[in-house]
Structures are given as C-alpha cells and as structure tokens.
Amino acid sequence: MTIIYKEMKEFREEDLKQLFLSVHWESGRYPERLVKAMHNSTHVISAWDGERLVGLVRGLDDGVTVAFLHYLLVDPAYQGLHIGEELMRRILSYYEDLLYIKIMPSDPKTISFYERFGFQQYDNYSAMVIKHF
C-alpha cells in the first residue's frame, strides 16, 4: 500500500462523508458543508490510498499571528501507519513563522499525540463550542 499526500481543497461529498463517519464525527452527516469548509480553509492536506480518502488535516490562519488546526483525522483502518504524524508534519511546516498554533483535541486520548509535536496544555484554558445542528 502506498499512501499519497495531496494539498487540495476540492473534495467529493461521498469521500468526506465516508472519512468523517469512519471516526464517528457528527460533521460527517453534513458532507455538503464539509465540501464548502475545505474549500474555504487556508490549507488542507489529505492522505489517499488509491482513490480512497484515508486521512485529512486542515488549517485556518491569519497569515501572521495565529493558526488553528482543525480536523486531523485518519480512517481507523489506516491508523497505526503514521499517516496522522505525516499530516501534522506537513501542515505545521506552513506555520513555522506564526506566533501561535492552536489545536483543540476533542478526545483526551489524543493529547499525548499533539504533545509530541510541541503542543502544550494550559491550566484555565479550554475550548468552548456552540453547535448549530
């Protein structure tokens, strides 16, 4: 198996739906919104096994001070193959000169993964969310 990494923003709804639902993310139920979200992101890097989308990371930034990484996910059938690490390495290369790079892990089990890339947890700082669906 050869994983190919692509920097692109154009995706088919079905590809995004399949990937997001594979990790049980609620946003997978809204593939038309995911297509628009990827198109409007600053950077999107995806991982492909042939025609199958197996991983994705996206970044949103202001180009000077801060970047937010959102949607780092890898299909469970492909986890353990270092795809997430490669996606992180590639996306972080865009943000070496920014003051802050932020990520809000939705699963506490992933915190140690992000710590390997230099992310730190802060006391008294946690993400807050409003859901509109």
Confidence of residue 121 (pLDDT cuts 50, 70, 90): confident
pLDDT at 25: 94
Nearest to 103 by CA among 69, 72, 65, 64: 69
Phi, psi of 99 (to 5 degrees): -70, -40
Confidence of residue 120 (pLDDT cuts 50, 70, 90): confident
Q: Residue ranges of the alpha helices (H) in 1-133? A: 13-22, 31-40, 83-92, 111-115
CATH superfamily label, 3-115:
Gcn5-related N-acetyltransferase (GNAT) (3.40.630.30)
Check whether 70 has a pLDDT greater than 80: yes
> Alpha carbon of 118 to those of 17, 89, 100, 111, 121: distances in Å?
30, 11, 11, 11, 10
In this prediction the pTM is: 0.91
